[in-house]
Amino acid sequence: MITDMESSARLTEDKESSPCLDRGDRNAVRMWSSQRRVALDVLMACWGMGTWLGVNGLYVQLPLLVERLPEGWALPSSMVMAVQLANSGLLIYGVMRRLLPRISDAFYIYGLLVIGTLALVLNAFLYEYTAVVGSHERSVAYLTLTFFAALVGCTSSVLFYPYLRHFRDLYLATYLVGEGLSGFVSSILALIQGVGGEPQCLPSEDGTSLVPHYPPARFDTTVFLLLLGALSANSLVSFIVINNYKGFLPERVTPSAAAKDDEATTERPSMVVPRWFIVMGLMAVLNALNNGVMPSVQSYSCMPYGTRAYHLSVTLSAMANPAACLAGVWLKPVRARTLAAALLATAVPFAYILATALLSPEPPLQHTAGGETLVVLAWVVASGVIAYARMWVYGWARQGGARGMRLCGAVGQLGSVLGSASTFFIVNYTGLFVQPDACPAISSLSNL
C-alpha cells in the first residue's frame, strides 16, 4: 500500500533518489547486461522484499479483517495511523546513532528484520485479541503488532539505502525490484486466498438477534501471516548472507567510494523559487491522498458492493505501486503537462471514490455487476496514476541534489501524517462515513 519512501535519508544523490525512478543515466539502461553475481542479485531481491512486506501484507488482509475485528470498516483508518506512528523509528535510530556511534548499520538492520518477522508471526496468533479502550473494544494486539511490522519499512529509507552504497550501483536495481515485490507477492497471496463470499445471517444462540457467519477463505489470516513471516525470515537470512559471505567481497566498493558525497562538489540550483513550492505542494497532496485518505476510506467505498469488490480493489490497487515503479525505472519520464493532464483526468475516478464512500452504505449502482466493476476500476486507475505521479516528483526533485531529495521526503511525510490524522478523525469521530449492520434486526424482519 502503502510505501513511506518519503522519509528523509542522509545519502548521496545517487542513493537518495526514490527507488522507483529513472535516474537519467546510461547505467540504468545497461544495468542488466553488466557483469554481476546472479546469486547476489537474488539475495538483494529477497532482502528488499522484507522492507514493506508486513505493511503491504496486512493491508491486503483488510477485506477479511474488517468483518471480524471490532473497528469494522473504520479499521483501515486506525491501521494507517499505526503505520504513520512507526515513523518514530527514524527518531529512535537517530538517537541510537548518537548514543552508540560505533555500532554498524548492519546490526540495526538485523534488529529491524527480526522485529518485523516476529511481529508478523505473533500477529498470526494474536490479531483477534482485543481490549476495552475508552469504553470501546479495540484491536490492540493487531494494531500494536502492525506498528512493529511497519518499523521495518519506515526506517528502511535511512538505513537500508545507505548500506547499499557498499556495493556496486548495479545491485541497487535488484534490491528495488525486491522492494516492489513486497506488494506484488502479498497481493498474489491474497488473490489466491480469496475472501469466502458474502456473510450468511443466522439466529444467535438465544434467538434474539441475527449474527453474520462469514464463509471461510481458502486459508485463514493465521496461515497468510505465517507465510508472510516465512518470507520476512527469508529476507533476514538473505541479508545475513549478503553481509557476511566473503565471496561477495569483489562486488563491494572501496570505503572511500562509499563515503563520497556528490552534493559537496556539485553546485545545486536554489529551491526558494515558485516551481519548487508548487512541486513540493503537489508531493504533500499526493502523499496525503495515497498514504492517508484513500486507504482510510476504501472500506466505505467498496464494501457496499460486496466483499469481492473490496478484495479486488485492495489487491489490484496494491499492484499498481510496483507497476508504477517499473514504469519509472524503464520508461522515459512524461512531460509535466502530460502528468498534469493525467492527474486532472484522475480527478474523475477519485471523485467517484469519495462519492461512493460518503454515500455508503447505499452508493450508486449498488448490487449490480457494473457498479462493482466501476468501483474496482476507479480504485486501480486512481492508485496507479497517483503512484506514478509520486515517482515523477521524486525524479524532478533530483535536480536539487541530496538537499532536494531530503526536502521532498520531508514534505511528503508531512503530507502523509496530515492526511492520515485528519482522515482518522473524520472517519472515527464524525458521522460522514456510515457502516450498516451486517444483519438486520429480527424485529425488522417480522414487520416485513
pLDDT digits (tens, 9 = 90+) for 360-379: 899 999 989 999 999 999 99
Is 448 within the bounds of a domain? no
Between CA 42 and CA 47, with CA 46 as vertex, the angle to 5 degrees is 115
What percentage of the chain exceeds 90 in pLDDT?
46
Q: Give per-residue pLDDT as tens, 14-72.
A: 333 333 444 444 333 344 445 678 899 899 999 999 999 999 999 999 999 998 899 99
Cβ count near 343 (within 10 Å): 18
Query: CA quadruple 141, 143, 148, 150: dihedral positive or negative?
Result: positive
Q: Are β-strands 131-133 and 210-213 bridged in parallel, bridged antiparallel, or unpaired?
A: unpaired
Provide the strand spans (E) within 204-359. 210-213
Q: How many domains does the chain have?
A: 1
Q: Specify the pLDDT at position 322.
A: 73
Is 415 within the bounds of a domain? yes
Question: What phi, psi does 231 have (nearest 5°)?
Answer: -65, -35
In angstroms, rounded to a whole number, what is the distance separating the alpha carbons of residues 81 and 85? 6
Is 6 within the bounds of a domain? no
Q: Specify the pLDDT at position 217.
A: 82
In angstroms, rounded to a whole number, what is the distance separating the alpha carbons of residues 261 and 6? 20
Is 406 within the bounds of a domain? yes
Instruction: Please determine, for residue 356, whether its predicted confidence score (pLDDT) is greater than 60.
Output: yes
Q: Please tell me the least confidently modeled range out of 76-85, 243-252, 340-349.
A: 243-252
Across 162-188, average pLDDT:
84
Is 444 within the bounds of a domain? no
Q: Specify the pLDDT at position 369.
A: 93
* Contact call for residues 412 and 284 (beta carbons, < 8 A): yes
Is 429 within the bounds of a domain? yes
Is 24 within the bounds of a domain? yes
Amino acid identity at 97: R
DSSP letter for each residue of 53-94:
HHHHHHHHTHHHHTTTSTTGGGHHHHHHHHHHHTTHHHHHHH
Q: Which domain holds residue 69?
A: 13-438
Q: pLDDT confidence of 194, banded at 50, 70, 90?
A: confident
We report the CATH number of the domain holding residue 47 as 1.20.1250.20
Instruction: Please determine, for residue 304, whether its predicted confidence score (pLDDT) is greater than 60.
Output: yes
Across 422-445, average pLDDT:
79
Instruction: Please determine, for residue 155, whether its predicted confidence score (pLDDT) is greater than 80.
Output: yes
Across 73-98, average pLDDT:
91
Q: Give per-residue pLDDT as tens, 204-259.
A: 777 677 777 777 888 999 999 999 999 999 999 999 999 998 988 888 877 655 55
Burial class (CB in 10 A: 0-12, 13-18, 19+), 128: middle
Q: Which residues pair with 210 in a beta bridge?
A: 203
In angstroms, rounded to a whole number, what is the distance separating the alpha carbons of residues 298 and 295? 5
Across 180-202, average pLDDT:
84
Burial class (CB in 10 A: 0-12, 13-18, 19+), 132: exposed
Q: Specify the pLDDT at position 192.
A: 92
Place of cell 512524461: 334
* Contact call for residues 17 and 405 (beta carbons, < 8 A): yes
Pick the more confident residue, 117 or 334: 117
In angstroms, rounded to a whole number, what is the distance separating the alpha carbons of residues 36 and 34? 6
Q: Specify the pLDDT at position 152.
A: 93
Place of cell 517499473: 326
**Residue spans of alpha helices (H) in 268-335:** 274-288, 294-302, 307-330
Cβ count near 378 (within 10 Å): 23
Is 128 within the bounds of a domain? yes
Instruction: Please determine, for residue 148, whether its predicted confidence score (pLDDT) is greater than 90.
Output: yes
In angstroms, rounded to a whole number, what is the distance separating the alpha carbons of residues 142 and 251? 41
Q: Specify the pLDDT at position 258.
A: 52
Across 270-295, average pLDDT:
88
Pick the more confident residue, 115 or 209: 115
Q: Are β-strands 136-138 and 131-133 bridged in parallel, bridged antiparallel, or unpaired?
A: antiparallel
- Specify whether the backbone of 139 is left (phi greater than 0), alpha (psi in -120 to 50) or beta: beta
